[in-house]
């Protein structure tokens, strides 16, 4: 089956933890989709419709059987995934909406499944500056918690728009293995943490790191370090045992997504402008030695990447973001060329910057603007769409 791609910005991508060939995406076109990837390209396996506004985040359950989507419509929806064998006759992968979690005051910028030792499935979501805890079996809200009152550092100045100075949570991640600590990257440039025990949440501590809006965060596999990105272009790694910054770098441009690469514990991938991903060794003493390589997608016009994900087996990286002009449209007559590849003196063979295989745009049909018919989405009328770029691990 050949599926339609997103025709608006893609805000999040996430590989299934159980099947590295399945990738979920969340878009400004009000949908989330599941793609089956292979070396031959990608096909759309599912398209979930139900949100009335932009889908901002997707999260897989640890078993890979559920997918949660967080939206600007103030809800989180949970979808049942019925296995990895895709029947082309089922336009939605045979999946039905399992739950709609309501009660958030504003946009839901993050959601995350939580594994529990009791076997009961829980989900955390974020709206404004609060974290909400849900029971998936019943759909009931178990608890909520506001921001920690303990702020360890307050940088001078405040170059953050008024709306975001209260510290809205833009990204939420759970501590590896135990999941007992939740870390959030916030709009006021702070890292905030919460403790989870059973059905309760408790604010822990916070540290303001930058006079710029935070955009994303990722736990190091050791469970003690959190990487964060900021709209200032800064990237920082914090040791939560001391609340100190132990590594930092700057992209010199707004930075919106990061992830650690499985199997390479100190290797951090950060998405940025010009359809590029920078890969850093966060154990290096200086930034020049830290930047290992630059991954590019030369066949796509320049655009800013907004999200990134690494597969659980470490075999692939996926990234997406702003829209590009649909090939053949009037706006596509003079596409912007991509950046020239940089040399990789310290490239240790993790990924090949020239190993771009396929965009999901090439593996899927272009969006049919007439069939989509979302009149409030100007991007569709302008013949734009947002491909997802996939890089495979070098052999």
Query: What H or E segment, with its residue span, contains residue 203?
Result: strand 200-208
How do residues 15-48 score in pLDDT, each as one tens digit?
A: 999 999 999 999 999 999 998 887 777 788 888 8
Q: Domains (ranges, CATH) in the chain? A: 10-393 (2.130.10.10)
Q: What is the spatial distance between Cα 101 and Cα 95, in angstroms, rounded to a whole number?
A: 17
- Which percentage of the chain shows pLDDT scores above 90? 47
Helix (H, G, I), strand (E, B) or coil at 295: strand
Half-sphere exposure of 359 (CA within 13 A, CB side): 23
Is there a contact between 230 and 205 (Cβ–Cβ < 8 Å)?
no
**pLDDT given for residue 301 in this prediction:** 78
Least confident of 198-207, 249-258, 386-395: 386-395
Is there a contact between 79 and 48 (Cβ–Cβ < 8 Å)?
yes
CB-based burial label for 226 (10 Å; 0-12, 13-18, 19+): buried
- b/e per residue 267-288 (b: at least 16 CB within 10 A): bbbbbbbbbbbbbbbbebeeee
**What length is written for the chain?**
395
Is there a contact between 315 and 16 (Cβ–Cβ < 8 Å)?
no
Residue of higher predicted confidence among 380 and 279: 279
How do residues 144-155 score in pLDDT, each as one tens digit?
A: 999 998 777 656
Q: What is the spatial distance between Cα 367 and Cα 387, in angstroms, rounded to a whole number?
A: 11
**pLDDT given for residue 117 in this prediction:** 63
Distances (CA, A) of 33 to 67, 71, 93, 105: 10, 14, 10, 25
How do residues 214-249 score in pLDDT, each as one tens digit?
A: 999 999 999 999 999 999 899 999 999 999 999 998
Local confidence band at 368 (pLDDT 50, 70, 90 cut-offs): very low
């Amino acid at each position: 089956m050949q599926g339609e791609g997103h025709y608006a910005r893609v805000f999040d991508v996430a590989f299934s933890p159980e099947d590295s060939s399945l990738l979920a995406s969340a878009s400004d076109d009000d949908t989330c989709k599941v793609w089956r990837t292979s070396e031959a390209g990608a096909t759309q396996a599912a398209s979930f419709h139900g949100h009335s506004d932009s889908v901002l985040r997707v999260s897989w359950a640890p078993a890979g059987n559920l997918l949660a989507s967080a939206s600007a419509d103030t809800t989180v929806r949970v979808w049942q995934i019925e296995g990895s064998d895709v029947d082309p006759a089922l336009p939605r992968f045979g999946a039905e909406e399992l739950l709609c979690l309501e009660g958030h005051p504003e946009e839901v910028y993050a959601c995350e499944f939580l594994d529990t030792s009791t076997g009961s499935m829980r989900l955390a979501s974020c709206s404004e500056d609060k974290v909400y805890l849900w029971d998936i079996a019943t759909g009931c809200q178990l608890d909520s918690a506001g921001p920690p009152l303990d702020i360890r550092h307050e940088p001078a100045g405040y170059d953050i728009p008024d709306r975001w100075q209260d510290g809205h949570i833009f990204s939420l991640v759970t501590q590896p293995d135990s999941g007992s600590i939740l870390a959030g990257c916030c709009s006021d440039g702070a890292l905030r943490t919460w403790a989870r025990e059973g059905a309760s949440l408790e604010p822990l501590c916070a540290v303001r790191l930058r006079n710029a809006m935070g955009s994303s965060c990722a736990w190091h596999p050791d469970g003690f370090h959190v990487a964060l990105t900021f709209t200032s272009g800064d990237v920082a790694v914090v040791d939560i045992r001391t609340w100190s910054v132990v590594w930092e770098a700057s992209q010199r441009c707004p930075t919106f997504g990061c992830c650690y690469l499985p199997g390479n514990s100190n290797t951090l991938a950060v998405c940025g402008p010009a359809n590029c991903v920078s890969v850093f060794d966060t154990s290096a003493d200086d930034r020049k030695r830290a930047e290992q390589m630059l991954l590019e997608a030369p066949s796509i016009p320049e655009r800013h990447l907004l999200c990134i994900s690494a597969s659980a087996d470490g075999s692939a990286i996926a990234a997406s973001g702003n829209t590009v002009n649909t090939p053949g449209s009037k706006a596509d007559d003079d596409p912007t060329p991509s950046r020239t590849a940089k040399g990789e003196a310290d490239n240790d063979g993790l990924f090949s910057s020239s190993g771009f295989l396929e965009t999901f745009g090439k593996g899927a049909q272009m969006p049919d603007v007439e069939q989509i018919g979302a009149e409030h989405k100007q991007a569709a009328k302008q013949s734009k769409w947002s491909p997802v770029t996939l890089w495979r691990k070098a052999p």
